[in-house]
Amino acid sequence: MDWSVHFPKFIPPPSSAITTDSASATATRRVEFADIGCGFGGLLTALAPQFPDTLMLGMEIRMSVTAYVDARIKALRQIQGLLPSVDGGEMSQVVREAVKEAAGAEGEDPLPAEAGVSAEDVAEDRREEAENRRATREKVPGEFQNVSVIRANAMKHLPNFFEKGQLTKIFFLFPDPHFKRSKHKARIITTTLLAEYAYVLRPGGILYTVTDVKDLHDWMMHHLSLHPSFEYIPTETLLDAGDPVLKSAMTSTEEGMKVERNKGSKWAGCFRRKEDPPMQ
Ligand code: SAM
């Protein structure tokens, strides 16, 4: 995996010689936050300026959505390089134009059957995408060099991208609910997949879930609470401790904003990755 194409300001290309201490320090820098099923990238663009030295990656299965986020990040990088200050409106316009260019015509984006997402969901997503483009306002300045996105099926390929204990935070925000009982196995939090999330998450690292579907919240809480690698952190404890990302996780994604607009409820469940037990 050549990460330099994603984070050129932080990671030199593999071919370039590393001669100084600072160069080798940047060469060892790795992605630490992963937003799984990042959608339109609201969390990434909210967190990037808050943690300018932390590399963060969105993983998204839909091609056109990934292209949108990629264009959004590229536009933000350019804007920050070109303009000393930009108000939300201007930025949103530039992002829109870049997106149009990168994503091409608003054509078909066939969903892989493995995602288990219906045609109605896709149509609904397109309507939301149009609405989000209108609503998006990038409020915080920053260079956005520390954020990127990749098109991937995280349920299949997560350990191909991250090493053991690499991540300090992993987010599952408003994941697809897969309401029908027969579809529950397609949910992104399952006992089997939790073993993979535990593998890539560093002991002490935090897994965040947020949803507006109570049944899915109960499902995620149940599976996470039973898993030996995770311990529950009460939401109030995190908020009282001033956890800098939980509020963003609840409010800054496009799905989270939509729930707010509709005055819906949200449930958060956060779990700390426990230390592995000593080998027998
Ligand atoms: N997290 C975003 C938010 O809060 O706005 C998006 C939520 S949306 C309901 C769920 C997203 O997860 C969709 O964009 C979908 O394409 C993506 N997704 C579903 N299964 C995935 C998978 N296996 N790997 C990566 N992304 C996935």
109-137 pLDDT, tens per residue? 444 444 556 677 777 766 776 666 555 44
- Ramachandran region, residue 144 (left: φ > 0; alpha: ψ -120 to 50; beta: rest): left
Q: Is the pLDDT of residue 237 over 70?
A: yes
**Tokens encoding 214:** 């109570």
pLDDT at 85: 38
> How many angstroms does the Cα of residue 36 sit away from the middle of ligand 1?
7
Under DSSP, is residue 93 helix (H, G, I), strand (E, B) or coil?
A: helix
Q: Pull the structure tokens for residue 4.
A: 């330099």
Which residues does ligand 1 sit against, CB inside 6 Å? 37-39, 42, 59-62, 65, 115, 153-155, 173-176, 253-256
Per-residue confidence (pLDDT) for residue 1, from 0 to 100: 84
Q: Distance, CA 20 to ligand 1 centroid (Å)?
A: 40
Nearest atom in ligand 1 to 59's CA? 25
pLDDT digits (tens, 9 = 90+) for 32-82: 999 999 999 999 999 999 999 999 999 999 999 999 999 999 999 887 655
Which comes out higher in pLDDT, residue 140 or 58? 58
Assess whether pLDDT exceeds 60 at residue 172: yes
> How confident is residue 89, by pLDDT bands cut at 50, 70 and 90?
very low
Considering the chain, what is the average pLDDT of its residues?
84
ipTM over 0.95: yes
* Ligand 1 center from residue 176 Cα (angstroms): 6
Is residue 27's pLDDT more than 60?
A: no
Question: Which atom in ligand 1 lies closest to the alpha carbon of residue 114?
Answer: 23
Residue 155 CA, closest ligand 1 atom number: 23
pLDDT at position 93, please?
Answer: 58
Please report the pLDDT score of residue 244 as a whole number.
Answer: 85
- C-alpha to C-alpha distances, 25 to 47, 134, 145, 239, nearest whole angstrom: 23, 40, 17, 33
Other C-beta atoms lying within 10 Å of the C-beta of residue 246: 19
pLDDT number for residue 279: 85
In angstroms, what is the span from residue 24 Cα to ligand 1's centroid? 35
Domain ranges for the chain, please list them. Answer: 3-273
Q: Which fold has domain 3-273?
A: Rossmann fold (3.40.50)
With the most atoms of ligand 1 within 8 angstroms of its CB, the residue from 35, 45, 61, 169 to mutate is 61
Top mutation candidate among 255, 261, 262, 266 for ligand 1, by most atoms within 8 Å of CB: 255
Report the amino acid identity of residue 219: W
